[in-house]
């Protein structure tokens, strides 16, 4: 469990974290979301005691991080996978970290195997790809078999294969009963990985909810209707209290009536309906709704008028995931370990 | 996939939180060994030590040959001087090693992993100082005694040499073995303070060289200031015939050790206050 209470961090005149409070509980992957510069990394550093808070507290398992003895047994963290000495081998890197917390060589070897790095264990890390460094960072985080794990932007810069591997890995860790906090600015990624979401912007909490709730709370949910007698149908629906927007291609975007009601209404008047598509806002939209005002540096967009945008949310904006995922990565983290499941 | 150990009964998070108390001595030893693994797993350690050991040994023999063949021996030559002079060039190598020991962690960001694993930052500094100190002290004594042997072998051909059994000689040779240790640990402290390799090296060179310039002050200020400098303190403790206008060798030894001690103290004080 990670508990953040009224956490504030100022760097000179800049407030990076501004009165943040939330709790991260075990058994879920909790996504930690926010635009770049929202304060995610700073918050994680405050949790790890690397930065001192201006005020407020960040506690792990009811303790301040600095008071933990051999903390790797309680918290595993991956902040920056590239933070390695280029001349050190993967094995020596892990061994030096492990030893500082009294963890033996056997565990180092196991973690190298688990992350598929055993073949390159004795190679200097300067030749490693970003994906390999991410794996090495995960191996380091898991050395102490900790109940709490934190990853800062673990999929940044990874290819599809690497993203799929990490996603499955995180889910398996949570299924094990661990507390897993993963930061990202990539909404699409979090939609597929996280059960719970903590959204921040400019250092403040914007939402602390489940992924499903965040999507459903978004205002952008409607039904797309196509009909040869669109105008007539639009009048009928408006009479029933619905809000109807006409889209460029003549389709109707309807809110306030659900698809069955629209279908029944049309049938009762003998109006043919060519399309009737319920559209759910993507997490991306929900996220943009939340963070829209809190983006520090947003690009000026010429065609973003005030008020509700007339253009609809695209039906399925999930660009990051071509579904047939290559299942070829060495250690297959798909099934949670049988012995890891109980009582976590 | 097995995220947990292959042990039959996985511990619950509650059990993991209640880590059995580990004696401080064991934890200290583990941090020490961790730093030892780090030091010996990078090439720069070997290169800098090689330079620090081979250069002064070779140089000292060369200086001895030159002195032995100098026409007409002027005022009494200190037979220990060649061994010390040659070390003054080697100190830069271990100084760089000392700075790198911390600055490389800052420049790569590895220091965050280190301090996440060991939140007691001063324990890390102490472990690094102990490991680096032990290695450079061993290297320094090897240099001191091998150089001494070579130099005296050369000088004795001209009946200028001294034997190790002569009073004052063993102490001076031992003390000359301290020089690498002193500069390396001082470099370590500066690397931790400046957190930047180039800056740390510049600071180290500055602290060694700049005070020497103060020796040029008009008398008696020149001598009064220069007896506090690293260079003069090192010469005093390693000379067979110490200068009379500077501190006595015992006090000079304190000056010599005070430089790295104060640097490490400053590093320790700053270390817990700063964000990483």
Nearest to B34 among A99, A172, A334 (CB): A99
Query: What is the rounded distance in angstroms from the CA atom of residue B20 to the CA atom of residue A16?
Result: 37
Nearest to B43 among A87, A332, A343 (CB): A87
Total of domains in chain A: 2
| Residue B123 distance to chain A (closest CA, Å) | 11
Identify the pLDDT of residue A318: 38
Least confident of A167-181, A238-252, B21-35: A238-252
What is the rounded average pLDDT of the residues B53-62?
91
Digit-coded pLDDT (tens) for A46-84: 999 999 999 999 999 999 999 999 999 999 999 999 999
- A122 in reach of chain B (CB within 8 A): no
Question: A85 and B5: CB-CB below 8 Å?
Answer: no
Contacts of B5 in chain A (CB under 8 A): 107, 110, 145
Higher pLDDT, A135 or A191: A135
Q: Are residues A118 and A27 in the same domain?
A: yes
Contacts of B112 in chain A (CB under 8 A): 45, 48, 50, 79-80, 83
Higher pLDDT, A189 or A3: A3
Nearest to B1 among A65, A97, A172 (CB): A172
What is the rounded average pLDDT of the residues B161-177?
89
Least confident of A131-140, A286-295, B120-129, B180-189: A286-295
Q: Are residues A40 and A142 in the same domain?
A: yes
Nearest to A18 by CA among A26, A29, A9, A27: A9
Identify the pLDDT of residue B20: 64
Q: Are residues A167 and A90 in the same domain?
A: yes
Q: Which pLDDT band, with edges at 50, 70 and 90, does B21 fall under? A: confident
Question: A48 and B112: CB-CB below 8 Å?
Answer: yes
Question: A339 and B4: CB-CB below 8 Å?
Answer: yes
What is the rounded average pLDDT of the residues A178-190?
87
What is the rounded average pLDDT of the residues A217-223?
73
Domain boundary among A216, A242, A270: A216
- Give contacts of A 137-156 with B, CB under 8 A: 140, 142, 145-148
Q: Are residues A56 and A132 in the same domain?
A: yes
Digit-coded pLDDT (tens) for A279-318: 876 667 777 777 765 555 444 444 444 444 444 444 444 3
Nearest to B44 among A52, A87, A172 (CB): A87
Nearest to B86 by CA among B227, B238, B266: B238
DSSP lists the bridge partners of residue A152 as A183
Question: B1 and A83: CB-CB below 8 Å?
Answer: no
Q: Are residues A135 and A235 in the same domain?
A: no
Q: Are residues A242 and A151 in the same domain?
A: no
Q: Which pLDDT band, with edges at 50, 70 and 90, does B240 fall under? A: confident
Q: Which pLDDT band, with edges at 50, 70 and 90, does A39 fall under? A: very high
Identify the pLDDT of residue B3: 45
Q: Are residues A234 and A182 in the same domain?
A: no
Residue A70 inside a domain? The answer is yes
Helix (H) or strand (E) holding A222: strand A222-226
Q: Which pLDDT band, with edges at 50, 70 and 90, does A334 fall under? A: very low
Whether pLDDT at B169 is above 50: yes
Q: Which pLDDT band, with edges at 50, 70 and 90, does A319 fall under? A: very low
- Give contacts of A 222-261 with B, CB under 8 A: none
Side-chain-side CA neighbours of A224 within 13 Å: the count stands at 17
- Give contacts of B 87-126 with A, CB under 8 A: 104-105, 108-110, 112-120
Q: Between helices A90-100 and B110-117, what is the axis angle to 10°?
A: 30
A262: containing domain: 222-279
Tokens of residue A50, six digits: 């690397």
Give the domain ranges of chain B: 24-271
**Strongest mean pLDDT among A28-42, A97-111, B70-84:** A97-111
Residue A299 inside a domain? The answer is no
Share of chain A above pLDDT 70, in %: 83
What is the rounded average pLDDT of the residues A256-280?
90
Identify the pLDDT of residue B74: 55
Question: B1 and A110: CB-CB below 8 Å?
Answer: no
Q: Are residues A190 and A245 in the same domain?
A: no
Digit-coded pLDDT (tens) for B75-89: 557 888 888 888 888
Whether pLDDT at B113 is above 90: yes
- Give contacts of A 51-80 with B, CB under 8 A: 51-52, 61, 65-75, 77, 79-80
- Give contacts of B 23-52 with A, CB under 8 A: 26-27, 30-31, 33-35, 37-38, 41-44
Query: What is the rounded distance in angstroms from the CA atom of residue A328 to the CA atom of residue A147?
Result: 28
Whether pLDDT at B228 is above 70: yes
Nearest to B116 among A50, A145, A331 (CB): A50
Q: Which pLDDT band, with edges at 50, 70 and 90, does A335 fall under? A: very low
Q: Are residues A242 and A108 in the same domain?
A: no
Identify the pLDDT of residue A295: 55
Nearest to A192 by CA among A160, A240, A223: A160
Identify the pLDDT of residue A220: 67
Identify the pLDDT of residue B76: 59
CATH number of the domain within which A257 lies: 3.30.70
What is the rounded average pLDDT of the residues A201-206?
91
B24: phi then psi, degrees, rounded to nearest 5: -55, -40
Residue A289 inside a domain? The answer is no
pTM (predicted TM-score) = 0.81
What is the rounded average pLDDT of the residues B123-141?
97
Domain boundary among A199, A216, A233: A216
CA B168 to chain centre: 23
Digit-coded pLDDT (tens) for A109-163: 999 999 999 999 999 999 999 989 999 999 999 999 999 999 999 888 788 888 8
Q: Are residues A18 and A86 in the same domain?
A: yes
Residue A284 inside a domain? The answer is no
Structure-derived torsion over alpha carbons of residues B247, B251, B257, B258, reported in degrees to the nearest 10: -80
Q: For residue B94, count CB atoms less than 10 angstroms from its CB and return exposed for 0-12, middle for 13-18, buried for 19 or more.
A: buried
Identify the pLDDT of residue B133: 97
Q: Are residues A180 and A252 in the same domain?
A: no
Identify the pLDDT of residue A250: 85
Whether pLDDT at B131 is above 80: yes
ipTM: 0.87
Contacts of A333 in chain B (CB under 8 A): 1
Contacts of A87 in chain B (CB under 8 A): 42-44
Whether pLDDT at B126 is above 80: yes
Number of helices and strands (H, E) in chain B?
12, 0
User: Helix, strand, coil shares of chain B as percentages rounded to 5?
Assistant: 75, 0, 25
Contacts of B19 in chain A (CB under 8 A): 69-70, 73-74
Q: Are residues A169 and A229 in the same domain?
A: no
What is the rounded average pLDDT of the residues A177-189?
88
| B252 three-class SS | helix
């Amino acid at each position: 469990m990670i508990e953040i209470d009224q956490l504030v961090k100022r760097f000179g005149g800049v407030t990076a974290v501004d009165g943040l409070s939330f709790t991260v509980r075990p058994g879920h992957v909790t996504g930690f979301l926010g635009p770049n510069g929202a304060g995610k990394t700073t918050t994680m550093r405050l949790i790890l005691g690397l930065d001192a808070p201006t005020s407020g507290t960040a506690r792990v398992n009811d303790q301040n991080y600095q008071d933990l003895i051999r903390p790797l047994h309680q918290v595993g963290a991956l902040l920056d996978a590239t933070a390695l000495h280029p001349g050190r081998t993967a094995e020596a890197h892990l061994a030096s970290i492990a030893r500082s917390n009294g963890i033996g060589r056997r565990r180092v070897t196991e973690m190298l195997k688990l992350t598929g790095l055993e073949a390159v264990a004795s190679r200097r890390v300067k030749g490693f790809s970003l994906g390999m460094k991410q794996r090495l960072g995960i191996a380091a985080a898991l050395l102490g078999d900790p109940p709490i794990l934190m990853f800062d932007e673990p999929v940044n810069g990874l290819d599809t294969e690497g993203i799929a591997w990490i996603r499955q890995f995180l889910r398996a860790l949570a299924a094990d009963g661990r507390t897993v906090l993963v930061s990202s600015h990539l909404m699409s990624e979090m939609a597929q990985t996280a059960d719970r979401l903590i959204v921040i912007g400019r250092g403040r909490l914007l939402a602390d909810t489940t992924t499903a709730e965040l999507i459903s709370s978004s205002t952008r949910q409607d039904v797309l209707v196509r009909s040869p007698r669109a105008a007539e149908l639009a009048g009928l629906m408006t009479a029933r209290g619905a809000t109807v927007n006409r889209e460029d291609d003549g389709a109707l975007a309807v809110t306030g009536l659900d698809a069955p009601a629209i279908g029944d209404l049309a049938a009762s008047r003998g109006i043919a309906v060519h399309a009737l598509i319920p559209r759910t806002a993507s997490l991306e939209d929900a996220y943009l709704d939340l963070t829209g005002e809190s983006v520090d540096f947003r690009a000026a967009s010429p065609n973003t008028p005030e008020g509700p945008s007339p253009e609809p949310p695209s039906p399925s904006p999930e660009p990051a995931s071509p579904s047939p995922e290559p299942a070829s990565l060495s250690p297959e983290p798909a099934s949670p370990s049988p012995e890891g499941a109980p009582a976590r | 996939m097995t995220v947990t150990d292959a042990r039959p009964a996985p511990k619950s998070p509650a059990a993991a939180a209640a880590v059995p108390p580990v004696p401080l001595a064991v934890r200290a030893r583990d941090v020490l060994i961790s730093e030892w693994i780090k030091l010996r797993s990078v090439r720069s350690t070997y290169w800098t030590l090689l330079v620090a050991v081979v250069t002064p040994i070779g140089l000292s023999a060369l200086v001895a040959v030159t002195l032995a063949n100098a026409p007409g021996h002027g005022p009494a030559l200190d037979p220990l001087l060649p061994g010390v002079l040659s070390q003054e060039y080697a100190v830069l190598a271990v100084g760089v090693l000392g700075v790198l020991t911390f600055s490389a962690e800052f420049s790569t960001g590895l220091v965050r992993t280190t301090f996440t694993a060991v939140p007691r930052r001063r324990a890390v500094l102490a472990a690094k100082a102990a490991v680096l100190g032990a290695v450079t002290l061993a290297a320094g004594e090897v240099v001191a005694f091998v150089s001494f042997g070579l130099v005296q072998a050369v000088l004795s051909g001209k009946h200028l040499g001294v034997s190790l059994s002569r009073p004052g000689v063993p102490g001076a040779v031992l003390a000359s073995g301290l020089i690498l240790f002193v500069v390396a640990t001082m470099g370590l402290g500066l690397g931790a303070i400046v957190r930047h390799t180039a800056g740390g090296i510049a600071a180290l060179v500055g602290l060694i060289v700049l005070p020497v310039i103060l020796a040029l002050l008009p008398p008696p200020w020149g001598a009064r200031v220069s007896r506090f400098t690293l260079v003069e303190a090192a010469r005093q403790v390693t000379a067979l015939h110490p200068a009379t206008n500077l501190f006595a060798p015992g006090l000079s030894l304190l000056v010599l050790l005070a430089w790295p001690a104060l640097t490490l103290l400053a590093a320790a004080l700053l270390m817990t206050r700063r964000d990483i």
